[in-house]
Amino acid sequence: MTAPRRDPHLGELASAFADDALDPTTRDRVLVHLAHCVECRAEVEGHRQVKARLARLAPPPCPDSLLERLRALPECTPTERATPELPPVRLEASFRSVAPAGRPVSGRRPISVAPGRRRPSGRRPGGARPAGRRLRRSVVATAVGGVAAFALSLGTVVVLGGDQPTSTVNPPVLTYIKEHGAVTSGVPGGDREASVVDVADTDE
Amino acid sequence: MKLVDPRAGLLRAARRLVLVVGAGALGAVVCSTGVYLFVPAPTETLGAGQSGGSAPRSTPFTAGRPLGPAEQEALRLLRRAGRAQSETSYQGTKLFRSWSRWGELTATAFVRNVPGQGVTVASDEGSARSASGQRGVQIDTAEDSFDLSDETLDTLTSAYQIQVAAAERMLERPVTRVDVLRLSGTIVGRIWLDDATGLAVQRELLDTAGRVIRRTTFTGLSVLPTTSTPPPAAPAGPDECAGGLSARQLAELDGQGWDLPGTQLAGLTRVCARTVGTGADRSIQLSYSDGLFALSLFAQRGRLDSAVPGGFSRQQVGDTEVYLRCGLYRELSWAGSGMVYTLVTDASDATVTTVVGSLPTVAEDTGVLARMSKGIRRVGSWVDPFH
């Protein structure tokens, strides 16, 4: 039976170690690994040099108005005050390959972050989201919007197909009686006089 | 510090909006096309007493059966009665009575006829509904167009038998009674003709049960001396249907959604179709006759005012609620499918019920698919106003 291949080196833990962002237990294990691994020592040294160089850079110019606004901010936001203390996030180290035998191994990426630390350990460089998730969100938004537009179009058609407001009609019955008499006077005995009398009787 | 270009976000949102709206509109177009193709337009259902098609008034009426000598004699008397209007000067008091199951009315009027000058009709005291009892007030002058046309008599003899019934006396004058019978032999009308002048001095109409539903009679008649030579008789069949609508115009109205009956209605034949009024008051008048009874149906677009007009009452005729008034005519208004109909007739209650039950001919479909179909056609008419 062959054990799965694992990364024998620190990987991202090297950066966290250089930032001094590891909990004491993980840090001890990293130190043990560094004692035997030249490559990882070099990588950690490289991270430290980059950090030192960045620290020596002059701060970017900041507009006075921004400084004023920043000074005007309260020390902590209401959201932070309301946020309870979170338990420490346990992230398993990738150097588990170098951990003592018999320790359970997880495929997940490794790192433990001490409470209070804000190390964005699981994020991709630059904070970019995975392309698959972005595509999925786009598809869902398109589908929802399409269905909404579809429903809106059909609703408009149904509303347009309803009864249109029509004018109220009050039939001019007296006029109608006269017109009836005028057109149908040719019946035997003559009935046009009746239409005249009927209109006069109604008028009174 | 990371700077984000706001235009990029806007462009992305715009692209997404176009995509979403386009997808929805495409779906709606596909669905609408399906409804347009597969949901039929509202179709007419012919009601009782109505037949499709239309014919102009000039279509000659055909006397469908040969007349025997007795009917020829009765027809001669009726033709003489028609000519008497334009040959005899007279005046007198005339009584008008009308009965129906919804009410009855009696009215009287003073009538004076002078050939060449027309007929003057004045209201008279004694009218059952007259509040003022005014006498001698001229209310209208009718033109001398009372001739019985050959067309009218052809219609009469097509639908009914006529016969000389008896010699009688009325108003101290010898008269001859002409009976009008259904082809089944029951009497539907009686006309009393003055032997000396040929004038019709009384007329009665009866329903199928033999009850008199209308009577017009002189209660006093004076024949005046003729002072001048009467003008020549008007040509037969004066065109009272001035401004009549042609069959094509009626078809166009049908296409515009006017729900109108055809050439036959409740057994009567259309004798005139014309427009009354203009603009919002525009009505279509369709008059029908069988030579004895006559009815006029006036159609308007719109919905009936909920306020009951003065003199009318709300009644139920068949399954339809109508505004009804029993004057000398049966006068009814009712509404349906965007149309308002008003009926003026001297025909029987059964005929009235038949007419009301047969209109509108199109039952309104309020289903979702029907509404969609109408909506799509309405949108289509915006694009193509001639469709």
Name beta bridge partners: B299. Answer: B284, B341
> Using the beta-carbon criterion (under 8 Å), do B23 and A204 form an inter-chain contact?
no
Q: State whether residue A2 sits within 8 Å of chain B by CB.
A: no
**Residue ranges of A 128-147 with Cβ closer than 8 A to chain B:** 138, 141-142, 145-147
> Using the beta-carbon criterion (under 8 Å), do B342 and A162 form an inter-chain contact?
no
> Using the beta-carbon criterion (under 8 Å), do B287 and A138 form an inter-chain contact?
no
**What's the pLDDT score for residue B44?**
39
> Using the beta-carbon criterion (under 8 Å), do B281 and A145 form an inter-chain contact?
no
Treating both helix axes as pointing N-terminal to C-terminal, what angle do B6-38 and A131-160 enclose, rounded to 10 degrees?
A: 40
> Using the beta-carbon criterion (under 8 Å), do A193 and B370 form an inter-chain contact?
no
B195 has a pLDDT exceeding 90: yes
**Residue ranges of A 56-75 with Cβ closer than 8 A to chain B:** 60
Q: DSSP of B119-157, one letter per residue?
A: EEEEE-TT-TT-SS---S-EEEEE-S-----HHHHHHHH
Chain B residue with CA closest to A159: the answer is B375
pLDDT by residue (tens digit) across B263-298? 999 989 898 899 998 877 889 999 998 888 989 999
Q: Which residues contact A105 (CB under 8 A, 6 or more apart)?
A: A6, A96
Of the listed ranges A67-71, B53-57, B224-228, B334-338, the least confidently predicted one is B53-57
> Using the beta-carbon criterion (under 8 Å), do A200 and B140 form an inter-chain contact?
yes
**Preceding peptide of B360 cis, ω within 30°:** yes
Q: How far apart (Å, rounded) are the C-alpha atoms in residues A178 and A172?
A: 10
Query: What are the helix (H) ranges across B321-366?
Result: 349-358
> Using the beta-carbon criterion (under 8 Å), do A153 and B145 form an inter-chain contact?
no
ipTM greater than cut 0.90: no
Q: Which residues of B touch A197 (CB under 8 A)?
A: 96, 107-109, 121, 123, 127, 328
Which of B25, B274, B303 lies nearest to residue A169, judging by beta carbons?
Answer: B303
More confident residue, B5 or B348: B348
Most A-contacting residue of B1, B19, B20 (CB-CB within 10 A), to test interface: B20
Q: Which residues of B touch A198 (CB under 8 A)?
A: 96, 107, 327-329
Chain B residue with CA closest to A142: the answer is B20
pLDDT by residue (tens digit) across B302-358? 888 888 888 899 999 998 999 999 888 999 999 988 889 999 999 999 999 999 999
**What's the pLDDT score for residue B160?**
92
> Using the beta-carbon criterion (under 8 Å), do A161 and B378 form an inter-chain contact?
yes
Name beta bridge partners: A22. Answer: A113
What integer best gives the mean pLDDT of chain A? 72
More confident residue, A51 or B280: A51
Which of A166, A192, A193 lies nearest to residue B302, judging by beta carbons?
Answer: A166
Q: How far apart (Å, rounded) are the C-alpha atoms in residues A115 and A86?
A: 7
Q: How far apart (Å, rounded) are the C-alpha atoms in residues B140 and B137?
A: 9
Nearest to B152 by CA among B143, B162, B138: B162
Most B-contacting residue of A159, A160, A180 (CB-CB within 10 A), to test interface: A180
> Using the beta-carbon criterion (under 8 Å), do A187 and B240 form an inter-chain contact?
no
pTM passes above 0.90: no
Instruction: Confirm if B331 and A172 have CB atoms less than 8 A apart.
Output: no
Nearest to B286 by CA among B257, B316, B266: B266
Instruction: Confirm if A95 and A9 have CB atoms less than 8 A apart.
Output: yes
pLDDT by residue (tens digit) across A16-42? 998 888 899 999 989 999 998 999 999
Q: How far apart (Å, rounded) are the C-alpha atoms in residues A191 and B220?
A: 18
Q: How far apart (Å, rounded) are the C-alpha atoms in residues A20 and A14?
A: 10
Average pLDDT over residues A176-193: 72
> Using the beta-carbon criterion (under 8 Å), do B28 and A182 form an inter-chain contact?
no
More confident residue, B142 or B209: B209
